[in-house]
Amino acid sequence: MALTPQARETFTRLFGVEPQPHPTDPELFDILQNGIFDEAFSTGVLTDVERELLTITALTAMQTLPQLQAHVGAALNIGASPLQLRETIYQCAPYIGFPKTLNAIDIANGVFEANGISLPLENAGTVDATDPSAREQAGAAIQAPLYGNEVKEVFSALPEPFDEFVPHLLTSSAFGDFATRGGLDVAQRELISLVAIAAIGATTQLRPHVAGAIRAGSSRQKVAAALVQVMPYIGGPYALSGLVLVARYDESASAEAYR
């Protein structure tokens, strides 16, 4: 088996070097590279930069750090900005937790420094982090059009004070702290969130986030393309769990995960 011309061209464009036969497992690497850099990479309505940002999302969520390092470099090679890359990793934090996010940003920062990019990068926050009311208000302005008030309704059954605190935390953190940041728009952040959730196998959360990505402005075709792009990284079952929901998406139905 050998690489297709398209796989070879894509690999070289991303990594700046010609692919070489693997010394111990050449057949596996031919299958891998043809699947990723030919079939997945050439299917659907995504730019090269979008594909790499989504790949970086999946690698961040799974903590596959050697591959993350390579793809941060590849993303820079094809024109992704350091700010876009940083914000992609930051956007994963509400879904994968802060320790994994710190591991990933440490890898990215190492690639930035190796490429002569000065740190820290510019600030991108737009909300006063010390004002809980401002964080919640700004977060709700993004969350409500995409997800409605169903989270508040569902968690109202929790005992005090969690009936109010859990919805507040979700709104203030995931949306107020992160979705309001610069560097990426809301539609991009919703796709990143969906891919992060798919990558960790959080299937209960997939349905609302498929709907959220579409409501934020991505077409069903683009959401499907995002999940297909990361399928070779996260595995078929995790990606297919999301693709089934894209196929069945009904904009008039509730997308709440817990109903």
Summarize pLDDT for 137-192 with one digit per residue, the tens.
Answer: 999 999 999 999 888 998 999 999 999 999 999 999 999 999 999 999 999 999 99
pLDDT at 259: 45
DSSP 186-249: HHHHHHHHHHHHHHTT-HHHHHHHHHHHHHTT--HHHHHHHHHHHHHHH-HHHHHHHHHHHHT-
Each of the 259 residues of the chain gets a pLDDT tens digit; together they read: 699 999 999 999 999 999 999 999 999 999 999 999 999 999 999 999 999 999 999 999 999 999 999 999 999 999 999 999 999 999 999 999 999 999 999 999 999 999 999 999 999 999 999 999 999 999 999 999 999 988 899 899 999 999 999 999 999 999 999 999 999 999 999 999 999 999 999 999 999 999 999 999 999 999 999 999 999 999 999 999 999 999 999 887 766 655 4
Q: Where are the domains of the chain?
A: 42-120+182-246, 124-179
When computed from its CA atoms, the radius of gyration of the chain, rounded to whole angstroms, is: 19
150 burial level (CB within 10 Å; 0-12, 13-18, 19+): middle
- Tokens for 161, please give them: 């004070």
Angle, in degrees to the nearest 10, between helices 203-215 and 132-147: 90
- CA 161 to chain CA mean position, Å: 31
CATH code of the region 42-120+182-246: 1.20.1290.10
